[in-house]
Amino acid sequence: MSSPNYPEQPYDPNATAQAPISPPGTNTTTNDAKLRAQEKAQLAQEKAREFGNQMASHPAVKQAQVSAAEYHARADKALSQYPAMN
């Protein structure tokens, strides 16, 4: 079985067809992409916050909160009969 025909050096640092490397911190494309990503993330957070506020003020959610509070109060009262469990 013959060995594969791979070059010894798959990457030639002196090749002229390779893109120039920008110094760190000066790559405007990367910086622009970071800024756009940050802006998108901020917008997504704002939308999520707005949606969360809408959900919290929904009547069904408010009713669920009241029911949960009542259940919690009943459970506390029932468990108060067993001081060792508190």
DSSP string, the chain: -PPP---S-S--TT-TTSPPPPPTT--HHHHHHHHHHHHHHHHHHHHHHHHHHHHHTSHHHHHHHHHHHHHHHHHHHHHTT-GGG-
Residue numbers of the domain that contains 64: 30-85
Structural domains of the chain, count: 1
Does any domain span residue 21? no
Evaluate if pTM is beyond 0.85: no
Does any domain span residue 45? yes
pLDDT at 7: 56
pLDDT digits (tens, 9 = 90+) for 62-86: 999 999 999 999 999 998 888 876 5
Does any domain span residue 63? yes
Does any domain span residue 2? no
pLDDT digits (tens, 9 = 90+) for 5-59: 655 656 666 666 656 666 666 666 777 888 899 999 999 999 999 999 999 899 9
pLDDT at 83: 80
Does any domain span residue 3? no
